[in-house]
Amino acid sequence: MKKVLLLLADGFEAVEASVFTDVLGWNNLEGDGTTQVVTAGLHDRLKCTWNFTVIPEVTLDSVKVEDYDALAIPGGFEEAGFYNDGYDSRFSKIIREFHEQGKWIATICVAALTLGKAGVLEGRRATTYDHPTSIRKSQLREFGAHVVDEQVVVDGNLITSCNPATAFDVAFTLLEKLTSSENTLHVKELMGFTRKS
């Protein structure tokens, strides 16, 4: 079984979290059956950007990185407090531990900034929220990342993306890395993203 830790910060985007639970959940039931998602956070109750409360399965202080195969982090809104958790030293520590063990780390949109804060993007290709009015790409550069103009960027074990619209692409990319391209195409077809002719 490939266990994925879904790391949630207060103020996370619910839709960005749900793509990981859905894609990897579909794989568990209808794909090769090898993926399991475990939700985690710094607190025993978390609020998403749009205010509903989520109860993670575990708190971060009980997580052992060696029990997991990958880390997934959805982005969120500064106004909802996302960076309070996302830039917390405990959040950064778990990211560094996954990175040091060479495990896959997938982020959506501004969650790439949590990787930058953790110090794992120095000299690495990455992207983050790319709207022309946003400061997020320049912030990512300040963390030493080589910011590129691509929707989804894979550099070594790190997956980053440029906006919420890329969420499913990131989840499917992670599924492919954990399983296979054939299995991922099968799950995509079952979920209606592709149709066999």
Give domain status of residue 83, yes or no.
yes
Assess whether pLDDT exceeds 80 at residue 195. Answer: no
User: 14-30 vs 167-178: helix axis angle to the nearest 10?
Assistant: 40
Question: Which strand (E) or helix (H) includes residue 38?
Answer: strand 35-41
- Domain range for residue 40? 2-107+165-190
Q: Domain with 53 in it: what CATH number?
A: 3.40.50.880
- What global pTM score does this model have? 0.97
Among 17-21, 131-135, 169-173, name the one with the lowest average pLDDT: 131-135
Domains held by the chain: number: 1
Q: Is residue 61 part of a domain?
A: yes
122 located within any domain: no
> Cα(61)–Cα(173) distance, rounded to whole angstroms?
28
Residue 10 in any domain: the answer is: yes
Question: pLDDT tens digits for 18-56?
Answer: 999 999 999 999 999 999 999 999 999 999 999 899 999
Percent of the chain scoring above 70 in pLDDT: 99
**Residues above pLDDT 90, as percent of the chain:** 97
Mean local confidence (pLDDT), 82-106: 98
Q: Phi then psi for 84, rounded to 5 degrees? A: -60, -45
